């Protein structure tokens, strides 16, 4: 059994984003898994961001942000009111887009479907600095 971990540091900017982490995960596994089998666990230590496995590049990432905007409007209905207007919705996001994901690793590679990518979902325009912990257990 091997356990290896690292932290990705990202700047997401001042707009709502879906950031593809798949290539960073692959690079980490090239070092950590060394061709073996196991699990990749990802964790976001932030109260206003989450992780999703979805198709990117064909509009699904924009569709996800649109759906979140519909479900969690950036208006004054939220009890949590510090930050920019509507920021309270960002604190509800992790209940819908969890701050963790686990993906099987087979022969050192991510066992994702053809169109699947691992993505950081960040609707918080007030905090552009994000971390994602990657941990391989194999």
Q: How many domains does the chain have?
A: 1
| Average pLDDT estimate for 99-108 | 98
Q: What is the CATH number of the domain that holds 47?
A: 2.60.120.460
**Of 132, 137, 136, nearest in space to 118 by CA:** 132
User: Residue 1 pLDDT more than 80?
Assistant: no
Q: Which domain holds residue 38?
A: 3-137
Per-residue model confidence as pLDDT tens digits over 16-67: 999 999 999 999 999 999 999 999 999 999 999 999 999 998 999 999 999 9
Residue 13: the pLDDT is 86
| Average pLDDT estimate for 112-116 | 96
């Amino acid at each position: 059994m091997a356990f290896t971990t690292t932290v990705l540091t990202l700047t997401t900017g001042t707009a709502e984003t879906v950031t593809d982490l798949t290539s960073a995960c692959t690079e980490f596994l090239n070092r950590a898994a060394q061709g073996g089998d196991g699990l990749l666990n990802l964790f976001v230590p932030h109260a206003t961001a989450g992780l999703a496995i979805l198709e990117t590049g064909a509009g699904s990432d924009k569709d996800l942000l649109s759906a979140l905007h519909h479900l969690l409007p950036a208006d004054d209905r939220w009890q949590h009111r510090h930050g920019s207007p509507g920021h309270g919705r960002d604190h509800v996001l992790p209940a819908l887009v969890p701050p963790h994901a686990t993906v099987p690793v087979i022969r050192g590679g991510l066992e994702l479907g053809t169109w699947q990518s691992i993505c950081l979902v960040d609707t918080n325009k007030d905090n552009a600095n994000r971390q994602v912990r990657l941990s391989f257990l194999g």
